[in-house]
Structure 1
Amino acid sequence: MSDATTTDLYEVTMATAYLEEGMTAPATFSLFVRDLPPGRGFLVSAGLESALDFLSTFHIGPEDTRTFAEVLHRPPSDLAALTGLEFTGEVRAVPEGRVVLAGEPLLEITAPLPQAQLVETYVLNQLSHQTAIASKAARCVLAAAGRPVVDFSLRRTHGPEAGFQCARLGAMTGFAGTSNVAAAAACGLPAIGTMAHSFVEAFASEEEAFRAFARTHPGPVTLLVDTYDTERGVRTAARVLSDLECGPGSAVRLDSGDLGALAARARTILDGAGLPEVRIVASGSLDEYAVDRLVRSESPIDIYAVGTRVGVSADAPYLDSAYKMVQYDGRPVMKLSAAKVTAPGPKQVYRRPGHPDLIALSDEPPPPHSVPLLETVMRHGQRTAPRAALQECRERLTADLTELPHSARLIEHPIAPKAVPSASLTALTQQVRDCLRVLSATDVHTGPASSSAGRSCPQAAAGPDRPEQGRRRGSCL
């Protein structure tokens, strides 16, 4: 089986029906987050590179078709039309590292309808998970206020792949390194680690453990000092570091207790031992909220190691994300479900200094002094550019965060900016909505024999200033 089978069953059943009905015209699907989670003033776009990797190699082979048939309890011949299907479409997306807001498309896919439908699950999974983690990580960097943050999340992430992604996303948002060896090697990140309490417990004394570790790893070392008594552990570490002359660049790590108070006491002990250059690393159930409190209390912590709470985005572990069709065969479509209304038509988001982001139709002229967020990243199923470097993503994020209002960057009680729709998008939305309601009412009164299928509503796509577009797009239903 290939990754093509990593999908929800209804993607397969819908795609099969589309193929049987000859519905292979281009469809545009938009992926966006309806509302930001509580406690978030912004999101950081992430997961695009994984999605593009998937799309560029998407292919349904005979074994995949047999798998689909098996779970549907049908003969493979019933699903033969799926065999050989590849992704040949276009992708427009917000590059990784850019700040995005609620309602703004992170990605739009335009492809033959069966293709665009079949890739939904995987693409939505990658962008939703990674955007949630990247947003959490970026807030940790903001909270640390210039102090290094490192990733210790691997042991409790939801699987090794998620752990790898957390390490990469941490680096993308400004982390100084990761404990994840595979991610460090693959992504060129600094590998950072210390010792576990078991190492200390394996020796007859804490001092023996520290000396053995320092002898084995010449150069800067970090000693875990809270296995037994933290203050005594700091004193022992200070003695070992002084005796072995490995102070510069070395550190002691605090992993439990009142980290602020213990850090203050550790700093006094280290300075008193003539080791002002030895740093203090804090870990243990840290996230941006804890880091923010420690920083604001002026705790003398030099490095923050964040793990579980960041690796699973504990306070906001999912995003209210959606992948919805907005156009099929040239006609705009939308959903009218309560609280889940979507806006029709392919879109572009324009960032405007001093003004709210503008969500516009993709073929609208850009507002003055604006920057479009969505870029064409794939044509005919192939990438249009090499994979973005992490440094490039970090630079995008730094620039976007600088432009964000201070209230959006707050760790406690942030206020998220809101994007606004353009006049043309608002007009199109209303016209399609009105058309759908008229046709729905007609169906109710006339019954199935006079179904509205195939009826046209050309005015739905044409705003007051968009007659050409209306004629080109045709019906709304």
Structure 2
Amino acid sequence: MSDVTTTDLYEVTMALSYLEEGMEGPATFSLFVRKLPPGRGFLVSAGLEPALDYLSGFRVTSGDVRRFAAALHRDVEDLAPLLGLAFRGEVRAVPEGRVVHAGEPLLEVTAPLPQAQLAETYLLLLLSHQTAVASKAARCVLAAAGHPVVDFSLRRTHGPHAGFQAARAGGMVGFAGTSNVAAAVRLGLTASGTMAHSYVEAFPDEEAAFRAFARAHPGPVTFLVDTYDTERGVATAARVLRDLRRGPGCGVRLDSGDLGALSRRARAILDEAGLEDVRIIVSGGLDEYGVESLVREGAPIDVYAVGTKAGTSADAPYLDSAYKLVEYDGRPVMKLSSAKVTAPGRKQVFRTPGEPDVLALWDEPCPAGAEPLLRTVMRAGRRIGPPDDLAAARARFVADVTSLPASARRVHAPEPLTPRVSPRLTALTAAVRDRLTTGTAARAGTSPRTP
């Protein structure tokens, strides 16, 4: 079964109808987030590279047709028009790692209508999930104020694919490592991990567990010290590390309790043992809110491990994203439903340092000192360049997030930025709205042109 069948049923029925009606003119769909979730001052674009991989391999096979027919309880022959349908369109998109705001397209697809329609669901799920998680991860990095952050979310994410995407999103915004071995190897990230409480419990006591672990791993080791009594566990870890002369690069991990108070006591115990270079790593239900609180109180913590809440973007687990038709066969279109109005026409976003972004039509000239955010990344169903990498995405993120006002970056009650709409897009929106509400242009047999 190919990924083409990972779609909503109505995508199949619409695409089939378009083919039977001969409606294969070029259609542009815009994928954007209507409004930011509560507690977000910005989003980080993510998911484009997997989306391009998907579109590059998009082709309806005979097996897909059989499954579509089974889902619809129809003869396979009825779904035959879909056989061989492949993506041969163009994609313009915001590169991964860039900061984006509500209403700005993350991606625009222009392709024959059945192709662009059938790709909707998969594109939405790829970009929506990864953008949500990358945005959460970005906030954790900001909250840590320069301290390393690592991803411990794999066992609590919504499946292995989501876990991989969470590790990738963390790497994109500057996480120092991930516990996900597959992601670390495939993406070139640093694998990070310690031990579980069950490991300690399997031995007669903590000291036996720590010594056994150190024997198995000749490099730096990190001991989990809160299985029984945390202060006693830190003291035991200090004794083992000192006896084995294993200080630099090693650490102790606190996973429960009052992490601020315990980290201060752990630091004192380690320093008294002459182990000033042994790090303190904390985990246990952390996200940007917990990290920010610990940093603010000056807790002597070296590394923050974030898991469940970060990997699932627990406080904002979804985005109000949409994939809407904005132009068909040269005719700008829009939706007028209450609270879900869309702007017609292909778009571009212009960004000028120190000014609000401008949402404009795709063929408007770039203002002086501005840069266009959407770039053409695919033509005729093929990438026009090599795949992007996380290092480039991370550099874009650092540049963009640094330029945001402090009010948008803050953890508590951030203030989102709102893009301005260009005069040409405003005029086109008014013209299309007038056509749809009055029917004047339709009765005259004309359609409004881009102002």
Query: Taking structure 2 as the reference length, what is the TM-score of the superposition?
Result: 0.99
C-alpha distance in structure 2 between counterparts of 1:343 and 1:376, whole Å: 20
Superposed counterparts of 1:79-228, under 5 Å: 79-228=79-228
2:290 aligned partner? 290
Which AA in structure 2 matches 1:108?
E
Q: Aligned in 2, Cα 1:221/1:94: closer, same or farther, shift over 3 Å?
A: same
CA RMSD in angstroms comes to: 1.0
**Offset, 1:168:** 1.0
Q: Distance in 2 between matches of 1:181 and 1:307?
A: 15
Separation in 1, partners of 2:320, 2:127: 12
Pairwise CA distance, 1:456: 3.1
User: Retained in 1: the 8 A contact 2:435–2:442?
Assistant: no
Match of 1:342 in 2: 342
Helix, strand or coil for the counterpart of 2:105? coil
Cα distance in 2 for partners of 1:133, 1:182 equals 18
When residues 388 and 18 of structure 1 are mapped into structure 2, their CA distance, relative to the original with a 3 A threshold, is same
Runs of 4+ with >2 A deviation: 452-458, 460-463
Partner of 2:409: 409
AA in 2 matched with 1:422? S
**1:344–1:428 Cα contact (<8 Å) kept:** yes
Q: Aligned partners of 2:389 and 2:249: how far apart in 1?
A: 28
Q: Aligned letter for 2:36?
A: L
Equivalent residue for 2:395? 395
Q: Please name the residue that 1:365 is paired with.
A: 365
Query: Once the 2 structures are TM-superposed, how far is the Cα of residue 219 of structure 1 from its aligned partner?
Result: 2.0
**Could you tell me which amino acid in structure 2 is paired with residue 137 of structure 1?**
A
CA distance in 2, matches of 1:379, 1:105: 18
Question: 1:422 corresponds to which residue?
Answer: 422
Cα-to-partner distance string for 1:261-316 (whole Å, 9 max, x where unaligned): 00001001100110000000000000001000000110000000000000100000
Q: For residues 2 and 408 of structure 2, what CA distance do their matches in structure 1 show? A: 41
TM-score by length of 1: 0.93
CA offset at residue 389 of structure 1?
Answer: 1.2
Correspondence 1:27 to 2:38: no
What is the CA–CA distance in structure 2 between the aligned matches of 1:106 and 1:161, rounded to whole Å?
21
Tell me the SS of whatever aligns to 1:461: coil
| Residue number in structure 2 paired with 1:274 | 274
Tell me, in whole angstroms, the C-alpha distance in 2 between the residues paired with 1:454 and 1:64: 41
Can you give the 5+ residue segments of structure 1 that lack an aligned partner in the other structure?
A: 443-451, 464-477
In 1, the alpha carbon distance for the partners of 2:56 and 2:23 equals 23
Tell me the amino acid that sits aligned with residue 417 of structure 1: L
Per-residue CA deviations over 1:415-452 (Å, capped at 9, x if unaligned) read 0111111000001001100110002xx8xxxxxxxxx9
What amino acid sits opposite 1:198 in the alignment?
Answer: S
SS at 1:32 equivalent: strand
Alignment of 1:250-269 (within 5 A): 250-269=250-269
1:454, distance to aligned residue in structure 2 (A):
7.8
Which aligned pairs between 1:33-48 and structure 2 lie closer than 5 A? Answer: 33-48=33-48
Counterparts of residues 51-70 of structure 1 (less than 5 Å) = 51-70=51-70
How far the C-alpha of 1:457 sits from its partner, in A, is 3.8
RCO higher in 1 or 2 (8 Å CA, sep ≥ 6)? 2
Per the alignment, residue 237 of structure 2 pairs with 237
Distance 2:18 2:418 in 1: 37
For residues 195 and 66 of structure 1, the distance between their equivalents in structure 2, rounded to whole angstroms, comes to: 48
| TM-fit CA distance, 1:402 | 1.1
The question of whether the paired residues in 1 share the 8 Å contact of 2:178 and 2:191 is answered with yes
Alpha-carbon contact 2:58-2:87 (below 8 Å) kept = yes
Per the TM alignment, residue 354 of structure 1 is displaced from its structure 2 partner at its CA by 1.8
Offset at residue 387 of structure 1 (A):
1.1
Partner Cα separation in structure 2 for residue 174 and residue 319 of structure 1: 22
C-alpha distance after superposition, 1:141-199 (max 9, x if no partner): 00001100000000010000100111111011100011101111111111111000000
The equivalent residue for 1:472 is: none
SS at match of 2:30: strand
Q: Distance in 1 between matches of 2:108 and 2:442?
A: 26
Instruction: Give % identity.
Output: 70
Q: What residue number does 1:456 align with?
A: 445
Which residue does 1:446 correspond to in 2? none
The total of aligned residue pairs comes to 451
Instruction: Give the SS at the match of 1:252.
Output: strand
Q: How far apart in 1 are the matches of 2:10 and 2:257? A: 49
**Alpha-carbon separation, structure 1, partners of 2:298 and 2:285:** 19
Taking the aligned partners of 2:179 and 2:141, their CA distance within structure 1 comes to 17
Tell whether the 8 Å contact from 2:267 to 2:300 is kept in structure 1 after alignment: yes
> Using the alignment, how far apart are the partners of 2:4 and 2:69 within structure 1?
14
Map 1:313-324 → 2, pairs under 5 A:
313-324=313-324
Pairwise CA distance, 1:462: 3.8
